[in-house]
Amino acid sequence: MPVRLSLLNTMHRMNDHSNSISITIELLEKIKQQYCLKWYGTHGVIHWSRVYENGIKLAEQDGVNSNVVQFFSIFHDSRRRNESTDNNHGNRGAQLALEMRAGITLSDEDFSLLIIACRLHTSARTHHDITVQACFDSDRLDLGRVGTMPDAEFLCTPMAKMPDIIEWGYNRSLIHRLPDQPFGLSMYKDRVIRLDGI
Ligand SMILES: [Fe+2]
């Protein structure tokens, strides 16, 4: 994973389906300005950064759109109102993505997958589209932070169901720390940290 992320940081943004960097610090700052929970809380930026890394890993599977799963990581919990049960937060996260559409470098078709994934990520067990599945899995592989071992039965893609991937996600989920290269934005880590003060 570190090698892959290092390579990502040498790449320029491309609007194709490769593992290019999609998230900008400006986009993250705008999301933070409206986020009403603790930045480093259970569903905050540390969780998002791990969901991002999980999504990048799962995007190695054929058919998974890496750019969609990257944007999913920062929008899916962006409008949570509490750290426990918040049944409508997926819809609200999708609404924020709609409001910020101009800053999201996805085609209309791919953007629709992001909206579906945000809306359904807690209410649907799976979905017919593998990119939406990878979004669900990237979130569910981080359940260890709330004391839950991810269960293959509730994961969607073949890679996420693999025992070593579940263990990889679980072990990382126990470490409450921002990774060195959050969202592929290694040069902006200090700014990501300072967002805590907004
Ligand atoms: Fe989440």
Question: Would you list the domain boundaries of the chain?
Answer: 23-191
Averaged pLDDT for residues 53-60: 97
pLDDT at 187 > cutoff 80: no
Determine contact, residues 197/181, Cβ cutoff 8 Å: no
- pTM for this prediction: 0.88
Nearest CA to 192 out of 74, 66, 29, 70 is that of 29
User: How much distance in Å is there from the Cα of 19 to the middle of ligand 1?
Assistant: 21
Q: How far is CA 29 from CA 32, 127, 172, 198, in A?
A: 5, 30, 25, 9
User: How much distance in Å is there from the Cα of 77 to the middle of ligand 1?
Assistant: 5
Per-residue pLDDT tens over the stretch 4-53 = 333 333 333 333 344 567 899 899 999 999 999 999 999 999 999 999 99
User: How much distance in Å is there from the Cα of 126 to the middle of ligand 1?
Assistant: 15
Q: 42: Cβ–Cβ under 8 A, 6 or more apart, which residues?
A: 83, 145, 146
CA 189 distance to own-chain centroid: 17
Per-residue pLDDT tens over the stretch 115-168 = 999 999 999 999 999 999 999 999 999 999 999 999 999 999 999 999 999 999
Query: 23-191 has which CATH code?
Result: 1.10.3210.10
User: How much distance in Å is there from the Cα of 99 to the middle of ligand 1?
Assistant: 20
Averaged pLDDT for residues 49-78: 97
User: How much distance in Å is there from the Cα of 128 to the middle of ligand 1?
Assistant: 20
User: How much distance in Å is there from the Cα of 78 to the middle of ligand 1?
Assistant: 9
User: How much distance in Å is there from the Cα of 187 to the middle of ligand 1?
Assistant: 25
User: How much distance in Å is there from the Cα of 10 to the middle of ligand 1?
Assistant: 28
- Looking at residue 3, what is its pLDDT? 33
pLDDT at 84 > cutoff 70: yes
User: How much distance in Å is there from the Cα of 63 to the middle of ligand 1?
Assistant: 22
- Residues 8 and 87: their CA atoms lie apart, in Å, by 34
User: How much distance in Å is there from the Cα of 112 to the middle of ligand 1?
Assistant: 19
